[in-house]
Amino acid sequence: MSDSPAVAVPDGGTVRPIVRWGEPVMHRALQVVTAYDEELVTLVADMFATMYAADGAGLAANQIGVDLRVFVFDCTDGDDRRVTGAVCNPELTLPEGSDRNLDDADEGCLSLPGAFTPCARPDWARVDGTDHTGARVTHMGEGGTLARCLQHETDHLNGMVFGDRVPIRARKRLYKEAAELAGTFPSDWPVSPRAGSP
């Protein structure tokens, strides 16, 4: 859910190649957004266009090679309600103690395309930050894809990929699956479609 007034997300963006795991920008904390200008609006529009072209639920700026603390998302909450937004400089809140319930569901990443493995995460999450206009926003996910997405994308901005959160054996299987599928994803995917895509 969102506690923030609905703001139209920018459209008309350009699809950009998605950066893969292993590139330095994927594995370091990103820079704070300080300028809410046309350049940021263009970036957010491009991020949405790229996420949709890749059929993703979320995308962080470093996944298109940009060193800024911003992510976009479009996914469903536990009640199957669709929530869309852009978040700059997110602060993530997770439940603690008896309020903490883990959801051990499959997770994937557009920067390791096609591969999935179970990753246990709290089934509730909240992010507070600003949108691409500088307005304060709060998004909360309870169950569904949204809670997982908010955590996954905030991790990206801190230089963490979800493979860092799974046991070593599961991580090795994840990398093996990704390696087997790598040839079906062009280096500029999703600018160029995956092999065999319509």
Q: Is residue 177 a part of any domain in this protein?
A: yes
Average pLDDT over every residue of 188-197: 91
Q: Is residue 11 a part of any domain in this protein?
A: no
The neighbour count for residue 67, using CB atoms within 10 Å, is 13
Report the chain's mean pLDDT, rounded to a whole number. Answer: 94
Range of the domain at 90: 24-183
pLDDT of residue 195: 83
Assess whether pLDDT exceeds 90 at residue 194: yes
Q: Is residue 97 a part of any domain in this protein?
A: yes
Rounded to the nearest 5°, which phi and psi values hold at 44?
A: -65, -40
Residues carrying an active site annotation: 153
Count the domains in the chain: 1
Helices and strands, number each (H, E), in the chain: 3, 7
Q: Is residue 10 a part of any domain in this protein?
A: no
Tens digit of each residue's pLDDT (9 = 90 or more) over 15-34: 999 999 999 999 999 999 99
Q: Is residue 39 a part of any domain in this protein?
A: yes
Q: Is residue 18 a part of any domain in this protein?
A: no
Instruction: Check: CB of residue 151 under 8 Å from CB of residue 102.
Output: no
Tens digit of each residue's pLDDT (9 = 90 or more) over 66-77: 999 999 999 999
Assess whether pLDDT exceeds 80 at residue 196: no
pTM: 0.94
Tens digit of each residue's pLDDT (9 = 90 or more) over 127-183: 999 999 999 999 999 988 999 999 999 999 999 999 999 999 999 999 999 999 999
Tens digit of each residue's pLDDT (9 = 90 or more) over 74-108: 999 988 899 999 999 999 999 999 999 999 999 99
Instruction: Check: CB of residue 164 under 8 Å from CB of residue 107.
Output: no
Q: Is residue 198 a part of any domain in this protein?
A: no
More confident of the two residues 9 and 125? 125
The CATH number of whichever domain residue 115 belongs to comes to: 3.90.45.10
